[in-house]
Amino acid sequence: MRDVIVACDFSSAEEVLAFLDRFAGCERKPFVKIGMELYYAAGPEIVREIKRRGHKIFLDLKLHDIPNTVKKTMRVLSNLDVDMTNLHAAGTIEMMKAALEGLTRTDGTRPILIAVTQLTSTSEERMQKELLINASIADTIAHYAANAKEAGLDGVVCSPLEASVVKQKCGDGFIAVTPGIRFADAAKDDQVRITTPARAKEIGSDYIVVGRPITAAEDPVAAYNRCVEEYI
């Protein structure tokens, strides 16, 4: 069930479709992550178009609002027929439960729902000083993951280095989706806590999210295939 999710962080429909055209002759269709940038630029129609082309979609919109609003929004997203979506665990267990309710279709099926615990851009110091969370970042992530599990969610997004903490706390079946992936011989960009696709597999990531190592590669198809070879 492990898969490589390609973060398609583009700002227009034209750019993302031209990028995906390069994979047209490939046997394996990449699982595509659509984030806020592309969704706010190109709207639900780009989700439908990429779906029509046969890709699975992780819609990474990180919802965080009152339970009723999140529930109704999740209903809209589930009608878009995405395969995975997410929200912030900081919205409380009540909000996460409402999200699941909204996401579940009348036939009982629903996309995979995962929670963001603490963003990897948040340092322990800022979390403690600015957010007044008086615990270590590892304990906070483990606690938010446990809240997500209690609400009935399927897993969390976390750095590869946190995946084992999450699995210890919530069990092996609880999904860890991990960005921050780089090839051993490549630049880190602005990512700090990174690992290779091969190491992510050893650590127990269920899905890796890979952006620039594929989207900015001279040969994106070769870079994608390298991820698949190392990780799957």
Contact between residue 205 and residue 132 where contact means Cβ atoms under 8 Å apart: no
Out of 73, 85, 120, 147, the only residue in the binding site for ligand C5P (CB under 6 A) is: 120
Residue with the CB atom nearest ligand C5P in the bound state: 211
Express the helix, strand and coil content of the chain in percent, nearest 5 each.
45, 15, 35
Q: Which amino acid is at 154?
A: D
- 199 belongs to the binding site for ligand C5P (CB under 6 A): no
Q: How many residues bind ligand C5P (CB under 6 A)?
A: 15
Q: Which one of the listed residues 29, 51, 62, 97 is annotated catalytic?
A: 62
Q: Is 167 in the active site?
A: no
Segment contacting ligand C5P by CB under 6 A, of 13-21, 131-139, 207-215, 223-231:
207-215
- Of 133 and 209, which has the nearer Cβ to ligand C5P? 209
Out of 94, 189, 219, 229, the only residue in the binding site for ligand C5P (CB under 6 A) is: 189
For residues 43 and 45, give the distance between their C-alpha atoms in angstroms, rounded to a whole number: 5
- 67 belongs to the binding site for ligand C5P (CB under 6 A): no
Residues 6 or more apart in contact with residue 18 via CB below 8 angstroms: none
- Of 7 and 170, which has the nearer Cβ to ligand C5P? 7
Q: Quote the least distance from Cβ 68 to ligand C5P, whole Å.
A: 26
Please spell the DSSP secondary structure of 120-183, one letter per residue: TT--HHHHHHHS---S-HHHHHHHHHHHHHHHT--EEE--GGGHHHHHHHH-TTSEEEE--B--
Give the residue from 171, 137, 138 showing the smallest Cα distance to 153: 171
Out of 91, 111, 211, 220, the only residue in the binding site for ligand C5P (CB under 6 A) is: 211
Stretch 143-182 residues interacting with ligand C5P (CB under 6 A): 157, 179-180
Chain centroid to Cα 39, Å, comes to 14
Q: Which amino acid is at 204?
A: G
Q: Which residues are catalytic?
A: 62
Which residue ranges make up the site for ligand C5P (CB under 6 A)?
7, 9, 35, 119-120, 157, 179-180, 189, 191, 209-213
